[in-house]
Amino acid sequence: MELGFHLVGLRALVTFSSKKLLLNRRWVIVALMAALVAVVMLYVASEGSGTIDEGSTLINTLILSFLLPIMSLIYGASMIRNEIDDRSITQVVTSPMDRRVAYIGYYLSLCVVLSVMLVIIESVGWASFFLTTSVDGEAVELLLSYALLLVIGSFVYSSLFLLLGVVFRQPIYLGLLYVFVWEALVGSLPGAIGQYTISYYIKVIGSHLIPYGNITQFSGDAGVAALVLAALAAVFLIIGAWAFREKEIP
Cα 100 from Cα 172, distance rounded (Å) = 23
Burial class (CB in 10 A: 0-12, 13-18, 19+), 45: buried
Question: What 3-state DSSP class applies to 44?
Answer: helix
Cα 158 from Cα 114, distance rounded (Å) = 9
Q: What is the pLDDT of residue 193?
A: 77
Q: What is the pLDDT of residue 15?
A: 79
> What does the domain layout of the chain look like in residue ranges?
2-246
pLDDT along the chain (250 residues), means of 10: 63 77 78 90 84 92 94 89 78 77 90 93 93 82 96 96 90 90 79 84 95 90 95 96 82
Q: What is the pLDDT of residue 185?
A: 82
Instruction: Answer positive or negative: Cα dihedral of 195, 200, 206, 211.
Output: negative
Tell me how crowded residue 241 is: count the other CB atoms within 10 A of its CB.
Answer: 22
